[in-house]
Amino acid sequence: MAETKNEKLRFSIYTAFATAILVLICLTVYICVHFNAAIFSARHPGTYSVVEFDTFGTIKDNTAPSGIYNELAFTLPSIPKNGSNLVFFVKHESVEVYIGDELVYSIAPDSTSFIHTTGANWCIIPIYPDDSGSTVRINLSPLYKSMNGTQPTIYLGSQYRIYEHLLIPNIIIYLTCLLAILCGLFFILFTMINLTNPHVDKSLLMVGTFSLLIGIWKFMDLDYTALIIRNSIVLSYTSYFCLLMMTIPFISFLRKYFKDSDNFLWNIPCIANIAVFIIIIALQLTSIRDVRDTLWLIHTVMLSNIPVVIIMFYKELKEHGWSHKLKLAFICAFVCLAGLLSDMITYYISNGSFPSFLGITCLLFYIIVLGASSLKDARTLIAIGSQAKELEQMAYHDQLTGLFNRTAYAKYTGQDKFKPEGHIVVMFDLNNLKTCNDNLGHEQGDSYIIESAGMIKKAFGSYGNCYRIGGDEFCVLLYGISLSKCTQCISDFKKMLSGYNAAHPDSFPLNIACGYELYDPDEDYDIGDTLRRADRMMYSKKFEMKKRTTNRYADFFIK
């Protein structure tokens, strides 16, 4: 009973997780279509070279969202005739750029929406030769108090050189993100392709989801991605949404390595994840708090994994001892949680300005090692399953014709759920098979059997199961069709026989007797009685046919 309740709870958690993913996708699409930061630019981009400036001051302002704004002021050097660009990166800040007294660039959140942030933006302001010697003033207003004290790096020069300067040192981390995404897609596709295969662990879908979320989260979280994806708000929210949904797939996959995988303790971080999801989305939609303001809640849920994992490892070790799978899970979980903890500490110390590489590397280690282990287990089980399927095929199928055998008939009619009502039994007997074997050899006799089985399968296989229950005896169990339909199938079968014999005048003639009966509860105790009545009809037909065809077979051998 406890196990059933646990299964229902896990199903509820997975349903809630799937619903949460769907809600986040819909919300992301809605944000993408309806919202973006209001960006104004009075200058068109030109060509670039690289220069860095760093003049910074903080001014208190009670009207500002976080109580302060930062002002940067500097004098432009001589600008070349082909122009230049002022380039800097801001995250969750309103921006105003003045050259002299002229406002030439600004970024502000949409005051009419439930989203209060401008997201992550690379600000690119063209600078013309006439601006040489002018004073540039940049006002940056943090939209969250956690962003107070951040100071951007300012570049003046060639756009392409700046891109090169920013992107090349981060190629490795981008490749890591790509690897995580590709791993996630592989595990998801592998599971979906093998969805009906009982030997493939469906928890691979969870590790695939986890890997995909990690790759997308880190890719969207990197400052330089804003150079590629221009919708800054979607960029920021996608990153937060991926981070928000990591706990459930992490726990769901890890727990399968434990014998006590149904322990309720595993469900606590998952339930907390769903609760935090509801709270965060509700606060965002009601404009009470942005997701960025509630990031600490997401981190709290992620940290809740640590005590649960430690307790479950201790419990597993105490009750069952070390095993290869448990050691593997321990190493991967430890590395993964250490990486997450390191990332969080780095984030809070640097106010999110330092792109930590350790976290995603540790997470990727977890994905690849445990995912590969699960794939190896799946391949082993698939191989065992294939062998078992081959053995089952041999056990329940006639090797010569491919039809079900007598064992399969006994299994089907002997199962508890089998009800004889509505079943029609059709019996067949191959006339003169012994004569064919004695005079033409068993190879010709086998051909007689194979051709006959093929016609029986073709005429009746769409309506029931076909069995070879003896050397020259076949049986068909039909269900859910009328007697008139059965007689039509028999008529079609006889036409096939006549057609075959006409097309093969030099071959031994196929002559098959058949009889059929519908289960009658007034006459039959079970389906065996119906089979015996059909058998009696078949033998009656067989006797009549033998009297008509004796001379035909004699003529065949004389010929």
Eight-state DSSP code of residue 476:
E
* CA 78 to each of CA 127, 133, 160, 242: distance values in angstroms, whole numbers, following the listed order: 10, 7, 20, 45
DSSP string, 522-555: TT-SSHHHHHHHHHHHHHHHHHHHHHHHHHHHHH
pLDDT of residue 333: 79
- Axis crossing angle, helix 324-350 with helix 295-303, rounded to the nearest 10: 150
Asked whether residue 439 carries a pLDDT value surpassing 90, the answer given is: no
Alpha-carbon torsion (448, 451, 456, 461), positive or negative: positive
**Position 303 confidence tier, pLDDT thresholds 50, 70, 90:** confident
> Ranked by mean pLDDT, which of 110-124, 155-169, 349-363 comes out on top?
110-124
In the structure, what pLDDT confidence band is assigned to residue 46 with cuts at 50, 70 and 90? very low
Question: What's residue 240's pLDDT?
Answer: 86
For helices 2-34 and 267-285, angle between their N-to-C axes, nearest 10 degrees: 30
pTM: 0.60
Amino acid at 97: V
- Tokens for 37, please give them: 């930061």
Q: 460-494, pLDDT tens digit by residue? A: 988 889 999 888 899 999 988 899 999 999 999 99
In three-state secondary structure terms, 109 is coil
Q: Would you say residue 506 has pLDDT above 70?
A: yes
Q: What does the pLDDT read at residue 170?
A: 78
Q: Is it the case that residue 90 has pLDDT exceeding 80?
A: yes
Look over the chain and give the mean of its residue pLDDT values, rounded to a whole number.
82
Question: What pLDDT does residue 6 have?
Answer: 76
Percentage of the residues of the chain whose pLDDT score is greater than 70: 88
Query: pLDDT tens-digit profile of 253-270?
Result: 888 888 888 888 999 999
Q: According to the model, what pLDDT value does residue 557 have? A: 47
Element (H, E) at 95: strand 93-99
Instruction: Report, as an integer, the average pLDDT of 26-44.
Output: 73
- pLDDT, residue 548, reads 66
The band of 423, judged by pLDDT with boundaries at 50, 70 and 90, is very high
In this predicted structure, the answer to whether residue 33 has a pLDDT above a threshold of 70 is: yes
Query: Mean pLDDT over residues 128-149, rounded?
Result: 85
Q: Which of 186-190, 274-278, 344-348, 462-466 has the lowest mean pLDDT?
A: 344-348
| Residues 218/221/225/226 CA torsion (nearest 10 deg) | 160
Of the pLDDT bands very low, low, confident and very high (cuts 50, 70, 90), residue 552 is low
Q: How confident is the model at residue 558 (pLDDT cuts 50, 70, 90)?
A: very low
**Helix, strand, coil percentages in the chain from 3-state DSSP, rounded to 5:** 60, 15, 25
Do the beta carbons of residue 458 and residue 402 sit within 8 Å? no
Show the tokens assigned to 175: 């490749």
Distance CA 60, CA 71 (A): 11
Question: pLDDT tens digits, residue range 246-255?
Answer: 889 888 888 8
Average pLDDT over residues 521-543: 90
The owner of tokens 């509801």 is: 278
pLDDT tens for 99-129 read 988 999 999 888 777 888 888 888 888 888 8
Give yes or no for residue 199 having a pLDDT over 90.
Answer: no
Nearest residue to 77 (alpha-carbon basis) of 86, 65, 88: 86
Question: 456 falls in which pLDDT band (50, 70, 90)?
Answer: very high
382-411 tens-digit pLDDT: 554 555 465 566 778 888 888 999 888 988
